[in-house]
Chain A
Amino acid sequence: MRRIISLLLENEPGALSRVAGLFSARGFNIESLTVAATDDETVSRMTIVTHGDGGILEQIVKQLNKLVDVIKLMEVSDGEHLDRELMLVKVRATSASSRDEMDRLVRTFGARIVEITRQGLIVEVTGNDEKLKAFLDVVESGSVIEVVRSGPSAISRGGKALKL
């Protein structure tokens, strides 16, 4: 099962490698990992997407909590939550018709075209994993030049919060 774990950790050199090292050393699966400083610059927030059943997830959570740099942790996918990911897609579109086609697609997906050149265009799509995959599914695969995904950021809905 796909799980999303959010954690707050000390914004120290090496903190990221402790988390990444833990996943590889213990053979835990990692689908994506994003990290950035928060509004408090001494704290980083990390979002990890992993797969595992109850027992494995329990171990992942416990082992992460055991790291001295981890301040707080929450399994966001445990309750109602939002997850959003940014994807940039560079598409080959040299003819007017192919550009029109892309324009229609982009509007349907609530995406944006952020650059147009003679060779093609760059599309910015935001959404969850499902939406990003759906978008890629409908773009003609031959026309895709490059895809980059940020990995998801997640937040719980309602009053629950992961804060110091």
Chain B
Amino acid sequence: MELTGADILVQFLQDEGVEFVFGYPGGAVLHIYDALYQRGGVEHVLVRHEQAATHAADGYARATGKPGVALVTSGPGATNAVTGIATAHMDSIPMVVITGQVATPLIGNDAFQEVDIVGISRPCVKHNFLIKDVKDLAVTLKKAFYIANSGRPGPVVVDIPKDVTAAKTHYEYPQSVAIRSYNPVSKPHSGQVRKAVNMLLRARRPMIYTGGGVVLGNASEELTQMVRQLGFPITNTLMGLGAYPASDPQFLGMLGMHGTMEANMAMHECDVLMAIGARFDDRVTGELDKFCPYAKIIHIDVDPASIAKNVPVDVPIVGEVGEVLKQCMTELDQADRKVDPEALSAWWSQIDDWRSQQCLAYEASDEFIKPQMVLETLHRLTNGDACVTTDVGQHQMWAAQYYGFDKPRRWLTSGGLGTMGFGLPAAMGAQFANRDSTVACITGEASIQMCIQELSTCLQYDLPIKVINLNNRYLGMVRQWQEFQYKGRYSHSYMDALPDFVALAEAYGHVGMRIDNPADVEGALKEALAMKDRLVFMDFITDQNENVYPMVEAGRGHHEMRYSPYQSFRNQELA
């Protein structure tokens, strides 16, 4: 039977198993919206801004591992989606973004709502397509989903001109697709795996450092098993949190700019480093010249281009993380050599010494609400099992530090691009994916205002998200850097004239709460979490002067962290 391009698109999404499409209609996609209306089969979620469509699709993808799908119109619809596309690209999130385009005869004529989105998005997509013939539509869509979700995942844009959505052709769902120029490696080179295992077993001060790749590759079980078998210390990047249980004694916390003392010091002192699904980002390594000065480095990644990009590597292994770790464990079982137990125990006692300094300790207060305390309380009340999204800034780092994640896909944050405005729409995607779970959006009064219009979407679809607004009236991370590096010249980091968030939440039809007394934090959180079917916006008025510690400042190495003044005070007391 012949179908229109619009019908083919909607039928394809259904055949591909897509549950949700996050989108916003407009002229160029009207045929598609009509097909959604008439054909159905896929739930469309109407957002309030196209940026939110991409963040929500991204949040859904992070929470489920399935590609998120967004649908936007041409021109401004497409350009509004770009921030979300770039966010997904930096964090390797599988996503297919369908953009409407003006009709093919108009392309290049500066038509109304025309923009070259294939050109604009090219540097921030894994791949993109412009479809000029309806006959290519189904196969191209199949390619888009395959590319988005294989190898190192990423967003794929499919630009569809309006006349293509009206043209008719025969439709058959393509079961599979082969692309001669695209063949991601899955199985590692066994010789390299053997080399890596030998190196690990000879280590006296080993360290495992893992990133988002373990989460994306669904390999946290294999990782946990191998690390426990080895008895080695492990740290996660911001993107990798949850891949290894935070409550496990072998876990040293997050590393990097706001990593723990034990994780960063162990990085600095280790003699063998195994990096798994991580990309040696500058926020992780600190000053490259000072990075892991004593270590031989093994690097496992599905993307060859990530290996030896920033840091020279001794044993590169290209392959899917889960597959590589399975082979590592087989090699470990067969190896004659065992880890030197004395060296390992000496290493652990050194690490425990660093850990005993409790670098994340903060000064409690009964006057001001400490943001760290809010997050620790949230962790306790949700048994560490909530799905947590964040925006970007101090609150994001505190959430990473104080809300321990024991499972993957519970921690949704914009790590690479650092996109303010991500938190609320990502929470929508996560809530659609996990209808009965607690989804908390940890945010700040600045970030939340970048996509606050989505409170309206949340009402329309009954999304009972818990918004935890850590309101310190400052662009906190900017203020912190201005304090440290600009002698306290707080240039434009103070937000005067904030809205009344309680009234605002209520105006959108939700529950609003303001909490300004530390004694009320636990009670308020309990009350909010008990409201299973309501979105609750909790405006916590927090300590304005709190900073994120420890901190590896620009030009510093892992061993040159700045600790909180409270930490120094406490150490003096202890001495």
- A124-B445 Cα distance, complex, nearest whole Å: 68
Contact A21 B179, beta carbon cutoff 8 Å: no
Q: Please indicate the chain A residues that have their CB under 8 angstroms from the CB of B126 in the complex.
A: 68
Contact A68 B303, beta carbon cutoff 8 Å: no
Contact A71 B180, beta carbon cutoff 8 Å: yes
Chain B nearest CB: distance from A17 CB in Å?
7
Contact A55 B179, beta carbon cutoff 8 Å: no
Contact A68 B119, beta carbon cutoff 8 Å: no
Q: Please indicate the chain A residues that have their CB under 8 angstroms from the CB of B179 in the complex.
A: 68
A103 an interface residue at 8 Å Cβ cutoff?
Answer: no
Of A56-64, A77-85, A126-134, A139-147, which stretch is located at the interface? A56-64
- Knowing A62-B304, A63-B305 touch, does A71 contact B123 (C-beta < 8 A)? no
Q: Please indicate the chain B residues that have their CB under 8 angstroms from the CB of A18 in the complex.
A: 122
- Knowing A14-B118, A21-B122 touch, does A59 contact B305 (C-beta < 8 A)? yes
Contact B308 A70, beta carbon cutoff 8 Å: no
User: Of all chain A residues, which has the CB nearest B126?
Assistant: A68
Chain B nearest CB: distance from A163 CB in Å?
13
Contact B182 A68, beta carbon cutoff 8 Å: yes
- A143-B130 Cα distance, complex, nearest whole Å: 48
Q: Please indicate the chain A residues that have their CB under 8 angstroms from the CB of B312 in the complex.
A: 55
Contact B123 A70, beta carbon cutoff 8 Å: no
- Knowing A9-B181, A13-B130, A71-B180 touch, does A65 contact B123 (C-beta < 8 A)? no
B10 an interface residue at 8 Å Cβ cutoff?
Answer: no
Max chain B Cβ within 10 angstroms of own Cβ: one of A17, A63, A68, A69? A68
- Knowing A14-B130, A17-B122, A21-B122 touch, does A69 contact B181 (C-beta < 8 A)? yes
Contact with A along B335-348 (1 / 0, CB 8 A): 00000000000000
- Knowing A13-B130, A14-B130 touch, does A68 contact B147 (C-beta < 8 A)? yes
Contact B305 A62, beta carbon cutoff 8 Å: yes
Contact with B along A129-163 (1 / 0, CB 8 A): 00000000000000000000000000000000000
A10 an interface residue at 8 Å Cβ cutoff?
Answer: yes
- A62-B128 Cα distance, complex, nearest whole Å: 19
Max chain A Cβ within 10 angstroms of own Cβ: one of B119, B126, B181? B181
B556 an interface residue at 8 Å Cβ cutoff?
Answer: no
Contact A66 B181, beta carbon cutoff 8 Å: no
Chain B nearest CB: distance from A58 CB in Å?
7
Q: Please indicate the chain A residues that have their CB under 8 angstroms from the CB of B303 in the complex.
A: 66
Contact with B along A1-37 (1 / 0, CB 8 A): 0000000011001100110010001000000000000
Q: Please indicate the chain B residues that have their CB under 8 angstroms from the CB of A68 in the complex.
A: 126-127, 147, 179, 181-182
B309 an interface residue at 8 Å Cβ cutoff?
Answer: yes
User: Of all chain B residues, which has the CB nearest A9?
Assistant: B181
Chain B nearest CB: distance from A95 CB in Å?
50
Q: Please indicate the chain B residues that have their CB under 8 angstroms from the CB of A71 in the complex.
A: 180-181
Q: Please indicate the chain A residues that have their CB under 8 angstroms from the CB of B182 in the complex.
A: 68
Contact A21 B123, beta carbon cutoff 8 Å: yes
User: Of all chain B residues, which has the CB nearest A15?
Assistant: B181
Q: Please indicate the chain B residues that have their CB under 8 angstroms from the CB of A69 in the complex.
A: 181
Q: Which 3 A-B pairs have the closest CB atoms?
A: A62-B305, A71-B181, A68-B127
B interface residues with partner A (beta carbon < 8 Å) = 118-119, 122-123, 126-128, 130, 147, 179-182, 303-305, 307-309, 312
A interface residues with partner B (beta carbon < 8 Å) = 9-10, 13-14, 17-18, 21, 25, 55, 58-59, 62-63, 65-66, 68-71, 164
Listed by A's residue number, 7 A-B pairs whose Cβ atoms lie within 8 Å are A21-B123, A59-B309, A65-B304, A65-B305, A68-B179, A68-B182, A70-B181
